[in-house]
């Protein structure tokens, strides 16, 4: 993915050139910043296809008991 390319909150990440390695880096960032990992059952299109989908997931789960 080109460093200068901007992605809006509702842009499809795949269409914007975000590949599986970049998604993994995003998930590692979420784990580092928010202290939780996205379990396999949540690795679904609606959670991973856009930045807003990822943000919604983090908001719903960041304060959930672990």
pLDDT average, residue stretch 11-39: 93
Non-local CB neighbours of 64 within 8 Å, separated by 6+ positions: 36
**pLDDT tens-digit map of 31-52:** 999 989 999 999 999 999 999 9
The domain segmentation of the chain, as residue ranges, is: 21-61
Amino acid 64: pLDDT: 76
pLDDT at 1 over 60: no
Amino acid 9: pLDDT: 96
pTM: 0.79
pLDDT band at residue 62 under the 50/70/90 scheme:
confident
């Amino acid at each position: 993915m080109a460093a200068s390319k901007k992605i809006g909150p509702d842009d499809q990440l795949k269409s914007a050139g975000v590949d599986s390695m970049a998604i993994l880096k995003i998930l590692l960032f979420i784990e580092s910043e928010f202290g939780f990992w996205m379990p396999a059952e949540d690795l679904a299109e609606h959670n991973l296809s856009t930045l807003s989908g990822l943000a919604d997931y983090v908001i719903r789960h960041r304060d959930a008991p672990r």
